[in-house]
Every structure is written in C-alpha cells, then in structure tokens.
C-alpha cells in the first residue's frame, strides 16, 4: 500500500513569526500520525525557522520552487543543494501558478524534476487543466502532455516522485472536482506512469489531489483508490483545518491497513 502524503503549500503567505506560530500549532496535534507523510512548504524566508519547529517530528520540510542548475549567476534563485542545507526533503515543481504567472514550460519543469532527484529532494510534480480545457474535453490531452513532458528522460529515482493533480479551475475558487472526476484523472495519470516507466513503478508513485481540498471533502476524495493524499493551499494556512485533513488521511490509511 502507498503511504498517504499531505503537503501544505503556504504560497506567498506568513512572516517568519506567523510561520513559526502556524507550524507550532500543527505540530502539537500531529504527533501520532505516523502513517501519513506530512510536509510543510512555507516561503523561502521561513524555511529555516519552520524546519527548527518541526525537527524531530513526523513532519518534513518542503520548498515551493527551485532552479535546475547546481549554482551560478541566477539572481533570485535557489538550488537543490541550498534547500538540502536547510533539510528540505520535498520541493513543489510546476505548480499552476508558476506555469501561469511566470510562464514556466514543461521543458523547464522537466529540468527541475531531474535536478531535484539528483539533489536527493523529492519533487512534487503538479499537473492539471484549466476550466477552458476541461470544458473543451481536453483534460486527458493536457494532463497526458504535461506528465510525459515533465518526466521525459527521468530514469533512476522515478519511484520517489510525487505527482499532484491540481485542476486549475478548482484552485482557490472554492470549486472542487468530484471524487469521481478526481479519481478519473488520477487513474489516467497512473496509467501514464506505467507507460513511461513500468507498472511496478507506477503503483509505487503517490498521486495527490490539489484543488480546494478541505476538511469537509478530504475523506471522500482520499478514499478513492488512486488518490494518495492532498496538496493543500488555502486550508493549509489554518492549523485546525490542515490537521483535520491529515487526520482524514490517517484514518483512511488505518482502515486500509497501512
């Protein structure tokens, strides 16, 4: 069985002090959730402080982006080695906001995925369609193209990748894919992974749902056979809401015998 993973993407929110307060609140309530991987992804400015708060707990630290080069004249960027120095274990790559606002193409995301693996950091690869693409019946086409391009020539270390399906039309809008809609794309993604790698690898890769997952819908979404957790945005900024989502993953895993 795949171990569920719930990651909180704090985006460009929280000062260092606020981040410490949020991480501390989450820490208090998650000491016993050992069968769920819990990842906190604060802004770069708060990585060290949040890492100190969660050190020695079941939680892991994640970043929201990174460059693909090991070093160099890339003003404003950070590399895998810098993140590893801060004990980051995960990094979010290809988030729809990076694609839309900063025009990151699949080819760039592919370079980042491979650099993260080489740098011993687990990439959380985000894929998903816009509302226009969904309404145009292009979901399968778009997600397939993104998965194939972003994982091109990824070899050793593929099994460590986490994929996050995030329907762009459900991010920050309050709209959520139904469990059936989400499962359909998760199953598609797992089939693509089997084609790109092999079935054993595909069966081991965890696929999160990211699109307005909240305490009220988390359990039903994560009960689907190919949904292995959540990439949480807005609800991750409230300790109580985030903890409820993690506990939903915890109880689902317990009921399935993980």
Tell me the CATH number at 237: 3.20.20.70
Coil vs helix vs strand at 8? strand
Considering the candidates 97, 104, 133, 166, report the single residue annotated as catalytic: 166
Which is more confident, 193 or 29?
193
Considering the candidates 67, 95, 129, 133, report the single residue annotated as catalytic: 95
For 169-182, what is each residue's pLDDT tens digit? Answer: 887 777 778 999 99
202 is in which domain, residue-wise? 5-255
For 149-169, what is each residue's pLDDT tens digit? Answer: 999 999 889 999 999 999 998
Told to judge if 129 belongs to the known catalytic residues of this protein, a careful annotator would answer: no
Q: What is the pTM of this model?
A: 0.96
Read off the pLDDT of each residue in 59-77 and give the average, rounded to a whole number.
98
CA atoms within 13 A on the CB side of 145: 11
Q: Where are the beta strands (DSSP E) in the chain?
A: 5-9, 37-41, 59-63, 88-93, 122-127, 162-165, 206-209, 229-232
The count of structural domains within the chain is 1
- Please, where are the H alpha helices in 55-174? 80-85, 96-101, 106-118, 131-135, 139-150
Told to judge if 166 belongs to the known catalytic residues of this protein, a careful annotator would answer: yes
């Amino acid at each position: 069985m795949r171990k569920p993973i719930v990651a909180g993407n704090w985006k460009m929110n929280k000062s260092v002090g606020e981040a410490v307060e949020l991480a501390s609140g989450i820490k208090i309530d998650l000491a016993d959730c050992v069968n769920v991987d819990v990842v906190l992804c604060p802004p770069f400015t708060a990585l060290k402080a949040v890492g100190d708060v969660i050190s020695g707990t079941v939680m892991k630290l994640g970043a929201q982006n990174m460059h693909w080069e090991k070093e160099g004249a890339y003003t404003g960027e950070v590399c895998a080695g810098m993140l590893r120095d801060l004990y980051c274990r995960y990094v979010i790559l290809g988030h729809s906001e990076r694609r839309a606002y900063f025009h990151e193409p699949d080819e760039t995301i592919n370079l980042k995925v491979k650099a993260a693996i080489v740098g011993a950091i687990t990439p959380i690869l985000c894929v998903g369609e816009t509302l226009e693409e969904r309404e145009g019946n292009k979901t399968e086409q778009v997600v397939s193209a993104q998965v194939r391009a972003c994982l091109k020539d990824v070899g050793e270390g593929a099994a460590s990748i986490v994929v996050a399906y995030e329907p762009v039309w459900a991010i920050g809008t309050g709209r959520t894919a139904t469990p059936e809609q989400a499962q359909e794309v998760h199953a598609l993604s797992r089939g693509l992974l089997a084609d790109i790698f092999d079935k054993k690898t595909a069966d081991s890769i965890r696929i999160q749902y990211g699109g307005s997952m909240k305490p009220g819908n988390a359990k039903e979404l994560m009960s689907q056979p190919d949904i292995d957790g959540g990439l949480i945005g807005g609800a991750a900024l409230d300790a109580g809401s985030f903890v409820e989502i993690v506990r939903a993953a915890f109880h689902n895993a317990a009921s399935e015998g993980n």
